[in-house]
Homo-oligomer: A and B are copies of this chain.
Amino acid sequence: MDRSIFYNAHHSPVGAFASFTLGYKGPKGGLGLELTGPADENVYIGLEEREGGRFRALPFYGGAEVAAEDYDVEGLSDMRFANALAPFADDQITRQLGAGIDEWKAGDLTFRIISPPREVPDPDHHDVRDAVAPAVIVELTVDNREGERERRCFFGYGGSDRYTGMRLLDEPGLTGVGQGTTFAIASTDEGLYAGIGWQPEAILTPRLKENLPFMLGSVGLVVGTVAPGETRTFRFAVAFFREGTATTGIRARYLYRRWFDRIEQVLQHALEQADATVKIAAQFDASLRSRLSDDRAFMAAHAIRSYFGATQLLEREDGRPLWVVHEGEYRMMNTFDLTVDQAFFELALNPWTVRNELDLFVEKYAYEDQVRFPGSSELHPGGIAFTHDMGVANAFSAAGQSAYEQAGLCGCFSYMSSEELTNWILTAGLYVAHTGDLAWAEGQREIFLACLQSLENRDHPDVALRNGVMGLDGARCQGGSEITTYDSLDASLGQARNNVYLAVKGWSAYLFLQDVLNRLGEPDAAARARRQAERAAATIVAAKDENGLLPAVIGEGVDARIIPAIEALVYPFVAGLPADFPELRATLQAHFEAVLQPGICRFADGGWRLSSTSRNSWLSKIYLCQYVAERIMGYAPDAEADRAHLAWLLDPENAYYAWSDQMLEGKAVGSRYYPRGVTSILWTASGDRPLEEIRSLLVSQPAGVA
């Protein structure tokens, strides 16, 4: 393995919308809460050299610090310490990243950050304190067996919160530093001391110990010593704590506030639970590595981290839990076209979060709309649809409104009504299929029926003229046209109407409606859904050209070729719905095989190009289509493509953003620091009950609804 090791990765508690991001060189990581990207703080991790007096650190610092000159304008004070800290050379450093443990080694130092993927049971029925305590564990080990003198080691940072200064914790049993009530690192180990200063050296080698609590300083460190001949590990917690009302629009606090009133309590609890946390993380990492190629295990681990960094578990004023996944750098909340892709991961891990998202879409983020043909102002009956998202950056949007969608547009920022409608159906269908929660489905009977009606109406107002494919745009577009989740692509994937990607997604949605409505004792409606699925399949099959290739947009002269034509095959397969559309299957497979070629849907480096006419490819969707190609169509894993995709993520221009989705010829240009890559979890499922199989990887207990 000679891949670069200097990439940022999330290290996040579950549901805290927080990350101790680390790995990109310079002051580019640190303690981030609710941010669009890394906190860009100095992080200090290191130890004293064997000879003593000088120190080596991992290369995660280097920015300007506030210094004495700001106070002492004529430089009359002698507060400066000679520089005694240098970074390890790159070639002295190794790193191994799993989803749960990120381990660095350099010289006699081992530094591990432990933040396992873990289930959050339904908070309505379980005490989820351990799962949602907003902290990650850090271990700092010094191997001083070869050393002949006592050596210091240290862990600390310079906080970037504008509102508060660095402080020493003042809590019995804890040694630590932090910022305000919001950020802290601390240990309960013996023999440590903490200090604040303008330079690490002022804390590592203080002239007088009385000067350690220099609160004007911008750097806080916790320092330990290791005797000669010994190996010693210090364990820390890195905690995040938002005390007050966390969101507007829907006023909510973090659910962890049920158990924690102060960050010091979080630190204590996390350290008490640390043995178990480390064990869960190590087990998970071993299991993930055993199931995947090295490249895939890495990408999956990296993606899972970025997902958890975006999760936010809230509690509404009436006590109901509220699950949010923020959209990476954009921070849109529960963007529905991410929810559906992340549903495989969430359903396997904690299906109640999927139900929670679906419920809030029904409660607040559904709306009724009419539809019209392109170029016409005549309105036709439409029906229910769902918003693109629920707001942005801790601000929930108004009822029936997203943060994103704007009227009068034909490209990016237009409405996604039809796709979000299919997303509710598919996500709800997956939930019902996986959990068997018919009581919930029963409660949503009217919604399922309304979804069917709306999906039909968006095909054609005249039943006789329906072809199973979306043909009308929502009235909310006000003359614009709907788009798909591929919002920043050209018409090959960006336009919703008659898009072959969305056509297959619609076909898939009809199959789920058939299944659920049958279970709900609605045979007539189920039959209508079946009929629409058949129409869709027929329309798609009929669209292929003489070479068996499908156009990106059916019947509108957009002959671009797109891989995601096959994407929506994933839903019925994962749900175990009957696979009784052999001609559609064969058509899509033939299309796929024909387009996955250099010059069409493959980049020069072997990476997958989602659309033949766009340079913009999306990793989360590639992962999904890889699963379809391998598990449904039977192709072997494309190791060359995996290598290319991994190289994109680790490109020095991209590696700052942890896991990113949108890659413009391999450069992360959008959707950075992004949660959607957990579609990769499907790689781990080789059998016919993929969600159960994934659950067995993610948690030790069997699946089920709480």
Bits for A398-409, please: 1 = Cβ < 8 Å to B, else 0. Answer: 100101101111
Q: With A and B bound together, what is the CA distance between A78 and B662 in angstroms? A: 20
- Given contacts A34-B164, A215-B397, list 18 more A-B pairs with CB under 8 A: A35-B162, A71-B670, A72-B412, A72-B488, A73-B669, A73-B670, A77-B413, A78-B410, A78-B411, A79-B406, A162-B162, A163-B394, A167-B395, A170-B248, A210-B476, A210-B478, A214-B406, A216-B330
Interface members, chain A 351-407 (any B CB < 8 Å): 391-395, 397-398, 401, 403-404, 406-407
The answer to whether A407 touches B244, judged by C-beta atoms less than 8 angstroms apart, is: no
Q: How far is the CB of A347 from the nearest CB of chain B, in Å?
A: 28
Interface members, chain A 72-127 (any B CB < 8 Å): 72-74, 76-79
A331 at the interface (CB under 8 A from B): yes
The answer to whether A213 touches B397, judged by C-beta atoms less than 8 angstroms apart, is: yes
Partner of A403, one of B216, B248, B407: B216
List residues of A whose CB falls within 8 A of some B CB: 33-35, 68, 70-74, 76-79, 162-168, 170, 180-181, 207-208, 210-211, 213-216, 243-245, 248-249, 329-332, 391-395, 397-398, 401, 403-404, 406-414, 476, 478, 487-490, 494, 614-616, 662, 664, 669-670
The answer to whether B77 touches A394, judged by C-beta atoms less than 8 angstroms apart, is: no
The answer to whether B78 touches A403, judged by C-beta atoms less than 8 angstroms apart, is: no
Q: With A and B bound together, what is the CA distance between A674 and B501 in angstroms? A: 61
> Which residues of chain B come closer than 8 Å to A214, judged between CB atoms?
403, 406, 413
> Which residues of chain B come closer than 8 Å to A407, judged between CB atoms?
208, 210-211
The answer to whether A616 touches B74, judged by C-beta atoms less than 8 angstroms apart, is: yes
> Which residues of chain B come closer than 8 Å to A331, judged between CB atoms?
165
Residue of B whose beta carbon sits closest to that of A396? B167
- Stoichiometry, as copies per complex, reads 2
The answer to whether B170 touches A249, judged by C-beta atoms less than 8 angstroms apart, is: yes
The answer to whether B494 touches A76, judged by C-beta atoms less than 8 angstroms apart, is: yes
Q: How far is the CB of A586 from the nearest CB of chain B, in Å?
A: 33
Q: How far is the CB of A167 from the nearest CB of chain B, in Å?
A: 4
Q: How far is the CB of A253 from the nearest CB of chain B, in Å?
A: 10
Q: Known: A211-B406, A216-B404. Contact between A164 and B395, CB under 8 A?
A: yes
Taking each of A166, A214, A393, A410, which has the highest tally of chain B beta carbons within 10 Å of its own beta carbon?
A: A393
Q: With A and B bound together, what is the CA distance between A162 and B329 in angstroms? A: 12
Q: Known: A162-B35, A403-B215, A412-B77. Contact between A488 and B249, CB under 8 A?
A: no
Q: How far is the CB of A4 from the nearest CB of chain B, in Å?
A: 24
Q: With A and B bound together, what is the CA distance between A406 and B214 in angstroms? A: 7
> Which residues of chain B come closer than 8 Å to A72, judged between CB atoms?
411-413, 487-488, 670
Q: With A and B bound together, what is the CA distance between A170 and B248 in angstroms? A: 9
Q: With A and B bound together, what is the CA distance between A488 and B68 in angstroms? A: 10
- Closest A-B pairs by Cβ, 6 of them: A165-B393, A77-B412, A244-B244, A215-B403, A243-B244, A72-B412
The answer to whether A488 touches B398, judged by C-beta atoms less than 8 angstroms apart, is: no
The answer to whether B213 touches A401, judged by C-beta atoms less than 8 angstroms apart, is: yes
A sample of 20 cross-chain residue pairs with beta-carbon separation below 8 angstroms, ordered by A number, consists of A68-B413, A71-B487, A71-B488, A73-B662, A76-B412, A76-B489, A76-B494, A77-B411, A77-B414, A164-B394, A165-B391, A165-B395, A168-B398, A180-B394, A208-B406, A210-B476, A213-B397, A214-B403, A214-B406, A216-B404
Q: Known: A71-B330, A243-B244, A330-B71. Contact between A164 and B215, CB under 8 A?
A: no
Q: How far is the CB of A219 from the nearest CB of chain B, in Å?
A: 14
Q: With A and B bound together, what is the CA distance between A164 and B165 in angstroms? A: 20
> Which residues of chain B come closer than 8 Å to A404, judged between CB atoms?
215-216
Q: With A and B bound together, what is the CA distance between A414 and B249 in angstroms? A: 50
The answer to whether B181 touches A245, judged by C-beta atoms less than 8 angstroms apart, is: yes
Q: Is the interface of A mostly helix, strand, loop or mixed?
A: loop
Q: With A and B bound together, what is the CA distance between A245 and B261 in angstroms? A: 10
Q: With A and B bound together, what is the CA distance between A162 and B331 in angstroms? A: 12
> Which residues of chain B come closer than 8 Å to A615, judged between CB atoms?
74
> Which residues of chain B come closer than 8 Å to A488, judged between CB atoms?
71-74, 76
> Which residues of chain B come closer than 8 Å to A76, judged between CB atoms?
411-412, 488-490, 494
Q: Known: A411-B78, A664-B74. Contact between A392 and B208, CB under 8 A?
A: no
Q: How far is the CB of A348 from the nearest CB of chain B, in Å?
A: 30
Q: With A and B bound together, what is the CA distance between A515 and B42 in angstroms? A: 54
Residue of B whose beta carbon sits closest to that of A490? B76
The answer to whether B181 touches A215, judged by C-beta atoms less than 8 angstroms apart, is: no
Q: Known: A398-B170, A401-B213. Contact between A180 and B409, CB under 8 A?
A: no
> Which residues of chain B come closer than 8 Å to A164, judged between CB atoms?
34, 248, 393-395
Q: Known: A216-B404, A249-B167, A249-B170. Contact between A71 and B412, CB under 8 A?
A: yes
Q: How far is the CB of A472 from the nearest CB of chain B, in Å?
A: 19
> Which residues of chain B come closer than 8 Å to A77, judged between CB atoms?
409, 411-414
> Which residues of chain B come closer than 8 Å to A494, judged between CB atoms?
76
> Which residues of chain B come closer than 8 Å to A180, judged between CB atoms?
248, 394-395
Residue of B whose beta carbon sits closest to that of A395? B167
Q: With A and B bound together, what is the CA distance between A170 and B411 in angstroms? A: 29
Q: How far is the CB of A378 from the nearest CB of chain B, in Å?
A: 19
Residue of B whose beta carbon sits closest to that of A261? B245
Q: With A and B bound together, what is the CA distance between A74 and B413 in angstroms? A: 13
Q: How far is the CB of A534 from the nearest CB of chain B, in Å?
A: 34
Q: With A and B bound together, what is the CA distance between A411 and B249 in angstroms? A: 53
Q: With A and B bound together, what is the CA distance between A167 and B250 in angstroms? A: 12
Q: Known: A243-B245, A395-B164. Contact between A74 and B614, CB under 8 A?
A: yes
Q: How far is the CB of A202 from the nearest CB of chain B, in Å?
A: 9
Partner of A71, one of B168, B395, B398, B413: B413
> Which residues of chain B come closer than 8 Å to A489, judged between CB atoms?
74, 76
The answer to whether A79 touches B207, judged by C-beta atoms less than 8 angstroms apart, is: no
Q: With A and B bound together, what is the CA distance between A406 and B487 in angstroms? A: 57
The answer to whether B34 touches A163, judged by C-beta atoms less than 8 angstroms apart, is: yes
Q: With A and B bound together, what is the CA distance between A603 and B670 in angstroms? A: 56
Residue of B whose beta carbon sits closest to that of A402? B215
> Which residues of chain B come closer than 8 Å to A664, judged between CB atoms?
73-74
Q: With A and B bound together, what is the CA distance between A409 and B79 in angstroms? A: 8
Q: With A and B bound together, what is the CA distance between A180 and B247 in angstroms? A: 7
Q: How far is the CB of A247 from the nearest CB of chain B, in Å?
A: 9
> Which residues of chain B come closer than 8 Å to A476, judged between CB atoms?
210
> Which residues of chain B come closer than 8 Å to A181, judged between CB atoms?
244-245, 248
> Which residues of chain B come closer than 8 Å to A414, judged between CB atoms?
77
Q: With A and B bound together, what is the CA distance between A214 and B71 in angstroms? A: 43
> Which residues of chain B come closer than 8 Å to A662, judged between CB atoms?
73
Partner of A490, one of B71, B74, B669: B74
